[in-house]
Structure formats: structure tokens, C-alpha cells
Amino acid sequence: MGAYTPRKLKEALCPALISAWSEVMIYFRYRASMVIGLITTPMWVLFFVLNFNLFLPAAYRAAVQRSLMWSFIFLEMFSEAIWNLGMSLRRMKEMGIIEHVIATGSLFLTLLGRLSRIITDTVIYGFYMILFFYIALGVDISIKSPVLFIVSAMMALASCFGFSSIFSSISYGRRNVAALINILQFPVMIASGIILPAWILPPQLKIIAVASPLTYPFDLMRSAATGEPTLLDFHLEFLLSLLSATFMLLLSKKFIDRVEKKEMKGEVPGTL
Amino acid sequence: MRRFLLEISAHMYKEIKYIMRDPAWLVVFSIFPYVMAAMSCLMGIASSYISPDAFSEFQRNTGSSNAMLYFLTGYGIMFPSFLVVSVASENTGAEIASGTLEQIFVSPAKRELFILFSSFPYILVAMLGLIVSYAPLLLMGISILDFLIAMTMVFIGLLPLLGLGVLASNLTIKVKEYWSAANFLQAFLTLFSGFAYPISFLPEWMRLVSHVLPTSYAVELVRKYVEAHSISYSNLYGIVLMAIAYITAGVMSFRLVEKEGERSGSIYSS
Amino acid sequence: MARELVKIYRTKKGRRKEEIRALDGVSFKAEKGEIFGLLGPNGAGKTTTVKILSTILTPDSGEAFIDGKSVLKEKEDVRKVIGVTFTVEKGFYNKLTGKENLIYFGVLRGMSFSDARRRADELLDLVGLSDDKNRLFEEYSLGMRAKLAIARTLMHDPPVLILDEPTIGLDPIAARNVRNLLAELRKEGKTILLTTHNMREAEELCDKISMIDRGRIILSGTVDELKRFVGGKIVVIDFLADIEMENAIKKDNGVSELRIECDKGNEMDIMYEALTYLRSKGARVIKAQVEEPSLEDVFVKVMRKPQVVA
């Protein structure tokens, strides 16, 4: 019991806390990017809305736009995770930071702290997109089940973290990580029901969606927000979300530990 | 003349070396139009679960019966446009960040050639990527002549973007996050150019914006040719005029960069 | 030659306008075939001077000439006869090799590709980078970057070289190699303007030196002329002690060094007094000797008396 005093717990979590703090600080330093993001986000939203409207008679547009609003928020969460976390180990290596972090034995916690940036970004853009869809397109922005929404959002974050960290670990020694992310992100998002609801995917893609660990938490989030049906039975999907979030977190720890071991053995060439 | 050609060769040599060192993007570039076209078609398929008349609605709105070809045409212009406008709009900022701008300035090299031909190779490479990427369409019955004419139209359509990108780059030299201009231009072109829907689908005020974008003319030019085998000379002339206007504006705006450098030295990294 | 150069940077911090007088009437002259040193601490105005001479910065007033050509009115002609290094960490393309970078800048200066390739090989050999010529610039160490920067200045074989702190951040061996190279280039008749804050380097290399501080030239002359400004000798005592002493400099190895300027003939008296004082404070003296003044001594003395002595 003495090993788990509040003070010791705080000390143990210190790397995650300091990483969380620094990520948020850095996030707000890129003001031009934030401003441009606020300007371009509605443009991208309108692009996709208009794309959909090519196929939809006016009567159906409101419901679809509502689902699309959540798609954008999920897209932002996943995109921020894959770009920020997915490139994090490579970037840390290039900047010469990774050795310092490994020396403190807290690589996993440091990456975990980066969730703060993903949360900050998703919340800001989430609110912004909800406001935009409400004012510009008159979309219904109410959340059907707020508690379930928040719980599934946490599971989605955990899954995104796991997926992105694993990706980061696997692509660690490669130079063209950005190109890989560019190729992967849209197919992954389509196949995991992030862009389009899983229940509406063609049968061939549904099979992939069922197999993807990312699908369930996002599907639950969408269902909690809009009341749309889930891909599988609700209780099963909840259990699968919980399992996939836990599994991805544990698996990501293994992969990150492997990167640490590789670094300590000097198996990854330095950049200097 | 010899000096002129040597300088152009130097800039092209540098950029081509850069491009060849990072060929992964070529794979991305080749796949992306298909991924986006598939995603747009998937929206149609998803819509058909909601409304059975989805594809009829599409045909009514676009005049095209082949959704995949419609989107492939648009995205085939979108990605080269993105590449050219990104590179051109990041060029000055990237040179400032790498500390090479002052080295260019202390040499007797012509700045106008530098600013244009540092980005021009990307038009050639974009075209090469597009030709490779769209070559499978030849198996779908499109003739080689039609294919080459369409590609030529895309090439002409990209030229004004060089000037537009350079203009954006030079107007934003004081912004440390120099890639912001590229992000903005990509979103701007995407919304207003009609890559994935006809311009007529936009509200009236948005269509006015489309008129000043070369990509909207390029998309219309290529689509009219692919679908109806007709060449819209008005669009072609519009693009050529825009190329002259934007490139001239881009080159002249570089003087702002030079003046800022001479006045304050703030754009030099040392 | 620089004549009464003035450069004021005007910046805005929020609503407040700030003016920084980077150069305040800087004048100096370098003769053909000599290494001229512009010596001063960080922020003295060395880099601003270099940028004006290399035609990329316009002074608010004053004039400068390189090889008889005005940097304000004959920019194109000046650019043809100068080779310039700025910060050595950057200034090249990361994804090009050392050789490719040189070829690019060489062709940009009017060389044909074949000439540029041949010249690049020659210069890479000269600076000792032959084995690394096909490595990307981003893989180069700081020392290698410094050498590549010097190689670039020589691509078009200009008569005038302007080098802004070319040895900064280099390890002693790399710095020595660069200094040897510069000495060789002087023998070939190149005129070199060198800025540095390393007094020992300036003393070793430069034929003439101007000391600059806060935008003003405070002293100019040959090394011997500058040393005569101090007048006498320097008593140098190295010691180990726990005491803090004003004027004593703590070196990296923990030893403190005391340097006392004194008139000729008084050295022994001064040394005796200093040694007596140190012993009374419990210091353990390691070395005591009389030296000729160094440039550092000159600089410190001049800084205490901020007059312009040209």
C-alpha cells in the first residue's frame, strides 16, 4: 500500500503530465496554422456536403448532414492522432529528443501525455464544426445519449492512441512516414466507419469494418450522438469497444517498449 | 541566353534531385485520385441506401452517367493542382527556413528565374505522375489521342497555379508557418474549382469566386472534352490569360521579398 | 572598404516601436591579398556588416566598395566577385549531397555543369570532404558543413571572400584545419574579410583587425599595433581557490586565471603583491608569469574605455 501513495503516483505519472502540458503549449504556439484551420475547415466541410448532395434529394440532406457533422469530428480526432502520434517517434528521433526521454524510462508515458493535444484539438474543432453546421446548414446538434457519448469517446481516444502508437513504432526506422500516412489514413477511416457510418457501408467493406478495432468505439459514438443503428448488437459492440481499447493500449505499450529496446541496443541509426 | 538556360537548368537540377530522393510521394500521388474517386462513389452508394434514386439524382445534377469517370476527371486535376500550388506557395518560406535564400541573393542569379523554376519541375512531375496513374484508363476504351489531349489541357491548367502559389508564398513571408498558405489554397481550390461537383451547384456568390480560379476553367475544359469530345476555346484562352496574369503577379510580388530582405534582413536565417 | 555605415533595425513589439542601431558609422578598409578581421562579441554588428557588404542588406546611410565596386549601385558586379558564408549550420539543401549542392551553386554562378562538377571535386578534395561528397547535407556534422561552406565560396574562384564566423562551433582540430585553409588562400592572393568573436583566431590569422562593439569600430590596426594600445605587459597567475575574485576568470578545468595589466618595469612588483594577496586568501598558485598582452586584453581594456579609436 505504501508504494501507491498519492505523491508516488504523481511522481510516476509526472512524464505523462509534463508531456501533456508541453503538447498543449506547443499546440497554441502555431497560431497561423490554427487560424488557417478555422478558415479552411468549413471549406472542406462544404466540399463533402456538396459531394453528398449530388446524390441526395433535398428531403434526405438534413439527416445525412447531421451524420456528416459527426464524421468530421471523428475524422479530426483520428487524423490528429495519426499525424501527431503516428509521426511522434520518428520526429523525436530526428530532433534528438528520444534518447533523453528513454534515459528517463518514460517513453510510453510521454506519448500517453500527447493525448492532451488530441483532446484539445478535437474539442476545439468539435465545437467549431457543431457551430458551423448549426448556423450554416441548420443541422440538429443535440446528442441523444451524452453519457454513452463521453464513454465511447474515451474508448475511441484510447483506440486511436493505440493504433497511432503502434503505427509510429512500426514505421520508426523508415524515412517516408508522411507518405505512408497519406496512403493509409483515408482507407482506414473509410473501412472503420469514421467517415461513413459502418452500418451503411457496402457488404465487402462491412467485413473489414467488423474486423477493425477502431470501428466499434466510433460507431458507438455516432449512435450515442445521432441515434443511428450500430453495426452489431449494442451490448456486444460496447463490450468489443472496451476490449479493443484495452487491447490497443496494451499492445501499443509492447511496441513502444520494443522501440526503446532497439534504441538501447543501438539498432536504429542516429540522425546526426 | 546561355546564362539564362544554365540558371534554369540549375534550379531544375536541384528540384529533380529532391523529387527523386523521395519517390514515395509518387505512389501516394498515383493512388490518391482513385481513393478520392472511390470515396465519392462510396458516398453515392451510401446515399442509395437512403434514397434509391441516388445515382439518377447524380446524373440530373451533373449531366454525367458515369460517376467514377466524372470523379476521376475532377480528382485527376485536383491532385496535380495541390502539388503545384503547395510547392509554389511554400517555396520562399522553405528557402528562408533552410537559409538558402540569402545564398541565392548573394549570387548574380536572376531572382525571377529562381522563383519560377524552383517550382516548375513539379508541374512536369505532376504530369508524369498523372500519366502513369491514369494510363489504366486507356484499357477502358479511351483513345491515346484523347488521353494526350486531356493531359495537355491539364498541363496548361496547372501553369497559372505556379503564379498563384508564388504570389501566396511571397505575400506570406512574415508568417513563420509558411505551409499555412498551401493549406489555405488547397482548401480554397477544392471548394471553388468544381473538382467533385459542377460549379453550378454552388450558391451564386461562390460561383463568382470560381471565375477567378484557373482550376475551375481547367476542370470544365477537361470534362467537356472527356464527355463530349469538344474543346472549349473560351476556357482555354481564359486559362492562358490567367497564366500570364498570375505568373506576372507572382514574379513581381517577389520584389516584396527582396525589399523586405534589404530593409530589415528579417527574412535571412543568419 | 566600408565608409560610415549606419543601419537601424526598426521593429514593432505590440504597439511599441523599437529602434536598434546595429551599425553606427562603421568604417574600415581591407587591402588586397590580406585577411581582415572584424572582431567583436555577439550582437556587435558583425553579421549586419557582412550582409551589407554582400549586397543583401541596404544601409540607412554610408557606402561600401568591394574591389572598387559600390555595393549599393553596382550590386550585380559585386556579386560576381565575392564568395560569402553566413551561418554554416544552414544555407544548403538537406536532401542534396555535398557535391550536388556545390554543383547547383556553381552553375547558378554561370559555370557549365561539367566545369561545376570538376571544380566541386577539386574543392571537396581541398577541404577534405572527398570521402563524404556523396552524403546528404543533412548527415554532415558541423565541421563538415563549415568546410562545405568554404568550398562553396571558392566555386567561382572569387578574389574576395566574406566569411561570417566560419569556425564557430567547430572542435579544435576542425577549426585549425579551416584556419590553415584560410592562410593558404591568402597566399593565393585572396582578400578575406573574416568576422569572429574568437580573439585567438583573429590574432593568429588576421593581418589587420577592426574591433567592433555595439555598432561602432572601437579600435583598428595590425595585431602588433593593437597590442601596443595596452602599453605594457600582463601578469598572469593561475590558481586554485574557493574565493571569488573580481577580474579572475574561471576556466573549464576549475583553475582561475588572473590577468593584471601593468607598465613595463613594474611586472615583478605587481606579481609579488598579487601572489601575497592570493596566499593570504589560501589560494594555491599553479603558475605565475609575465606575458605580452593578447587581443583579449586589448579588447577588455578598450571596453572599459568606450572611446572610438580608429
- What pLDDT, on the 0 to 100 scale, is given for residue C308? 42
- Do residue C240 and residue C222 come from a single domain? no
Which residues, 6 or more positions from A91, have their beta carbon under 8 angstroms from its beta carbon?
Answer: none
Which is higher by pLDDT, C103 or A174?
Answer: C103
- Do residue C92 and residue C236 come from a single domain? no
Mutation target among B5, B106, B117 for the C interface, most CBs of C within 10 A: B106
Instruction: Give domain status of residue C217, yes or no.
Output: yes
Instruction: Give domain status of residue C304, yes or no.
Output: no
Which is higher by pLDDT, C183 or C294?
Answer: C183
Does A36 sit within 8 Å of B180, measured CB to CB? yes
Q: Tell me how crowded residue A141 is: count the other CB atoms within 10 A of its CB.
A: 14
- Do residue C68 and residue C122 come from a single domain? yes
To which H or E segment does residue A10 belong?
helix A6-29
pLDDT digits (tens, 9 = 90+) for B5-17: 999 999 999 999 9
How many domains does one find in chain C?
2
**Closest CA of chain C from B72, distance in Å:** 33
Quick one: closest CA in C to B8, which residue? C108
Helix (H, G, I), strand (E, B) or coil at C222: coil
Instruction: Name the nearest CA neighbour of B219 among B203, B205, B204, B201.
Output: B201
Mutation target among B31, B36, B40, B50 for the A interface, most CBs of A within 10 A: B50
- What pLDDT, on the 0 to 100 scale, is given for residue B174? 76
Burial tier of B155 (Cβ tally within 10 Å: 0-12, 13-18, 19+):
middle
Per-residue pLDDT averaged across C283-295, rounded? Answer: 86
Q: Domain boundary at C207, C227, C247, which? A: C227
Q: Which three cell numbers stand for residue B171?
A: 505575400
- What pLDDT, on the 0 to 100 scale, is given for residue A1? 47
Helix (H, G, I), strand (E, B) or coil at A159: helix
Does C105 sit within 8 Å of B106, measured CB to CB? no
pTM: 0.81
Instruction: Name the nearest CA neighbour of C144 among C124, C161, C160.
Output: C124
Which residues, 6 or more positions from A145, have their beta carbon under 8 angstroms from its beta carbon?
Answer: A224
User: E strands, chain C, where?
Assistant: 2-13, 16-28, 35-39, 61-66, 69-70, 82-85, 160-164, 191-196, 208-213, 216-221, 233-240, 248-250, 256-262, 284-291
Instruction: Give domain status of residue A168, yes or no.
Output: yes
**If you count residue pairs, one on A and one on B, with CB atoms under 8 Å apart, how many are there?**
114
- What pLDDT, on the 0 to 100 scale, is given for residue C175? 85
**Closest CA of chain C from B109, distance in Å:** 6
Does C112 sit within 8 Å of B100, measured CB to CB? no
In this complex, the chains that touch C, judged by 3 or more CB pairs closer than 8 A, are B
Mutation target among C46, C104, C113 for the B interface, most CBs of B within 10 A: C104
pLDDT digits (tens, 9 = 90+) for B94-133: 898 899 999 999 999 998 899 899 999 999 888 888 888 8
Q: Domain boundary at C210, C227, C244, which? A: C227
- Do residue C222 and residue C244 come from a single domain? no
Q: Which three cell numbers stand for residue B9?
A: 537548368
In this complex, the chains that touch A, judged by 3 or more CB pairs closer than 8 A, are B
Q: Is the pLDDT of residue C306 over 70?
A: no
Does C164 sit within 8 Å of B98, measured CB to CB? no
How many residues appear in chain C?
310
- Do residue C32 and residue C136 come from a single domain? yes
Domain ranges of chain B: 2-264
Q: What average pLDDT does the structure give for chain C?
A: 87
Region of poorest pLDDT, from B211-225, C176-190, C287-301: C287-301
- What pLDDT, on the 0 to 100 scale, is given for residue C297? 80
- Do residue C260 and residue C218 come from a single domain? no
Q: Is the pLDDT of residue C213 over 70?
A: yes
Q: Tell me how crowded residue B68 is: count the other CB atoms within 10 A of its CB.
A: 15
Question: What distance lies between CA A226 and its chain's CA centroid?
Answer: 20
pLDDT level of residue C307 (50, 70, 90 thresholds): very low
Q: Which residues of B are less than 8 Å from A53 in CB distance?
A: 61, 197, 201
User: Nearest Cβ partner of B175 from A32, A182, A196?
Assistant: A32
Q: Tell me how crowded residue A271 is: count the other CB atoms within 10 A of its CB.
A: 12
Q: Which residues on chain C place their C-beta less than 8 Å from a C-beta of chain B?
A: 9-11, 47-48, 51, 54-58, 76, 79-80, 82, 84, 86-87, 89-96, 100, 103-105, 107-113, 136, 152, 164
**pLDDT tens track, chain A, 272 positions:** 455 677 777 777 888 888 898 889 988 988 888 888 888 988 988 898 999 899 998 888 888 899 889 999 999 999 999 999 998 988 888 888 888 888 887 889 889 999 999 999 999 999 999 999 998 888 888 999 999 999 999 999 999 999 999 999 998 877 778 878 888 888 899 889 998 888 888 888 889 999 999 999 999 999 999 988 888 899 999 999 999 999 999 999 999 999 888 888 876 554 43
**Closest CA of chain B from C171, distance in Å:** 21
- What pLDDT, on the 0 to 100 scale, is given for residue A271? 44
Does A39 sit within 8 Å of B184, measured CB to CB? yes
The complex's ipTM? 0.88
Instruction: Give domain status of residue A218, yes or no.
Output: yes
pLDDT level of residue B51 (50, 70, 90 thresholds): confident
Instruction: Give domain status of residue A270, yes or no.
Output: no
Per-residue burial over B83-101, b = 16 or more CB atoms within 10 Å of its CB, e = otherwise: bbbbbbbbbbbbbbebbbb
Domain span holding position C244: 232-292
Does A50 sit within 8 Å of B201, measured CB to CB? yes
- Do residue C148 and residue C260 come from a single domain? no
Does C108 sit within 8 Å of B109, measured CB to CB? yes
Cα–Cα distances in Å, from C162 out to B244, C49, C81, C84?
A: 39, 10, 11, 5
3-state helix, strand, coil in chain C (%, to 5): 35, 30, 35
- Do residue C42 and residue C88 come from a single domain? yes
**Closest CA of chain A from B2, distance in Å:** 38
Assess contact for C98 and C144: CB atoms under 8 A.
yes
Domain span holding position A117: 2-265
Q: Is the pLDDT of residue C11 over 80?
A: no
Quick one: closest CA in C to B22, which residue? C95
- What pLDDT, on the 0 to 100 scale, is given for residue B270? 64
**Closest CA of chain B from A110, distance in Å:** 25
Instruction: Give domain status of residue C172, yes or no.
Output: yes
- Please report the residues numbered 154 through 183 in chain A whose beta carbons come closer than 8 angstroms to any beta carbon of chain B: 175-176, 179-180, 182-183
- Do residue C183 and residue C267 come from a single domain? no
Does A186 sit within 8 Å of B39, measured CB to CB? yes
Q: Which residues of B are less than 8 Å from C86 in CB distance?
A: 99, 102-103, 268-270
Does A47 sit within 8 Å of B62, measured CB to CB? no
